[in-house]
Structure 1
Amino acid sequence: VRRVRQALHVVNRRLGHEVTVTADQPDAVMGSTVVALLGNQERAVCLWAGDSRCYLWRNQRLYQLSRDHSLMQQLIHEEQVDPLEAARHPAANALTRAVGAHERLVLDILEFSVQPGDTLLLCSDGLYQSVSTGILSHALGLLSPEAAVDYLFSHALSGPARDNISAVVMRR
């Protein structure tokens, strides 16, 4: 976990200084969301910044393990507005954290146990915004991680797919 955090902090500095400062536009900000998963036997650690997500499929139930670092999530968390009102906010999808967006990178870290049969999904917002939670659940319940990714991409790409999509599915 320490080495992954260090590597992400190095990338954050490089994006913040070397890439952004030397870009043609001095005010440009270059950043990226990140979600990473480390596992060892029955323990796992998820690290993230931004709105890429980590999901757990366990006992026929879908759990979102990560919490988005977006203005919408911040407004909901601070109980300033209800989820429907937050979604209508003009800057709802603005990220509050990302690699390269700020001088100091703040990562959330969640450690949890992994049980036999658990399936984990790491994905970008382009995927989960393009499919329903029902589609996510169905995909993660399929026989293999490969089948799950194929199913998710098929459904995401058959719709509007307004953003890049990426996904990794793992099963214990």
Structure 2
Amino acid sequence: MAQSLIAWQSAARTDTGKVRARNEDAVLESSEAQVWAVADGMGGHQNGALASRLIVERLAESVSGSLDGRVREMRMRLHDVNRCLGQDITLQHGVDTPLIGSTVVALIADDDRAVCIWAGDSRCYLWRQNRLYQLTRDHCLMQELMVEENLTAQEAARHPKAQALTRAIGASEVLQLDLLELETEPGDTFLLCSDGLYRDVTEADLSQALNQRSPAMAIQQLFDKVLAGRARDNVSAVVVRR
């Protein structure tokens, strides 16, 4: 990969939380390669941890070329993992094996361009000029109800399966990934996180943390906030600043 003219800074952390026995999340933080990711595994302790680890390991493998070429390669790798989780691993353990899957949200950057790729309900936020933007849209039943049935968030949340995922790596034979490309600006700060983080904080909490002087300070403040509460799920986050 050609040397970037822009130096990106980042910090990452993952924690089991206060309730779960094992951490099924995985994070990727590589400012040098300009790729970052959070994967939130599902399917039981061993299966979820395996799925999230496979995703970040594949995304961490070196790739060179233009941003567009790197994005195509990353998408191919996610499709490969989806096929592996949905067919190879499941077949090895028999048809009664529980689902092995994971959400993913990844950010790939190159100078003043960045691309976010995701499947599931792990999120990417952008803090720009003192405003917080949620760049990703959750792939879950609640979101579908809001769009297709024109329900409010409060109405959709009352559905008993509101948080059920509609997309994830390993969840179906055909993987659908969403992609968002944007021009970056100096000072832009991105947050990639699992639902174990954003469900336990407010947007004001996110804004205050992302306005800190460094990604490391932002991560510290976010985890201090979550771990001071119930922290019922695994908690993972990557903060990236241009």
Question: What does residue 135 of structure 1 align with?
Answer: 205
- CA shift, 1:27, in A, is 5.2
1: distance between equivalents of 2:232 and 2:162? Answer: 16
- CA shift, 1:28, in A, is 1.8
2:153 to 74, 77, 83: 83
- 1:96-147, Cα deviation, whole Å (9 max, x unpaired): 0000000011000000011001100000010000111111000000000000
Question: What does residue 192 of structure 2 align with?
Answer: 122
Map 1:19-168 → 2, pairs under 5 A: 19-23=89-93, 26=96, 28-168=98-238
* Structure 1 runs not aligned, ≥5 long: none
Root-mean-square deviation (Å): 1.1
1:9 to 49, 61, 79: 79
2: distance between equivalents of 1:23 and 1:162? Answer: 29
1: distance between equivalents of 2:90 and 2:227? Answer: 32
- CA shift, 1:24, in A, is 5.6
Where does structure 1 differ by over 6 angstroms across 4 or more consecutive aligned residues? Answer: none
Q: Secondary structure at the match of 2:149?
A: coil
- 1:14-50, Cα deviation, whole Å (9 max, x unpaired): 1101222333662521110000000011110000000
TM-score by length of 1: 0.96
Q: Relative to structure 2, which stretch is displaced further, 126-135 or 20-29?
A: 20-29
Number of aligned residues: 172
Quote the sequence identity (%).
59
Highest RCO, 1 vs 2 (Cα 8 Å, sep ≥ 6): 2
* Structure 2 runs not aligned, ≥5 long: 1-70
Which structure has greater strand proportion?
A: 2
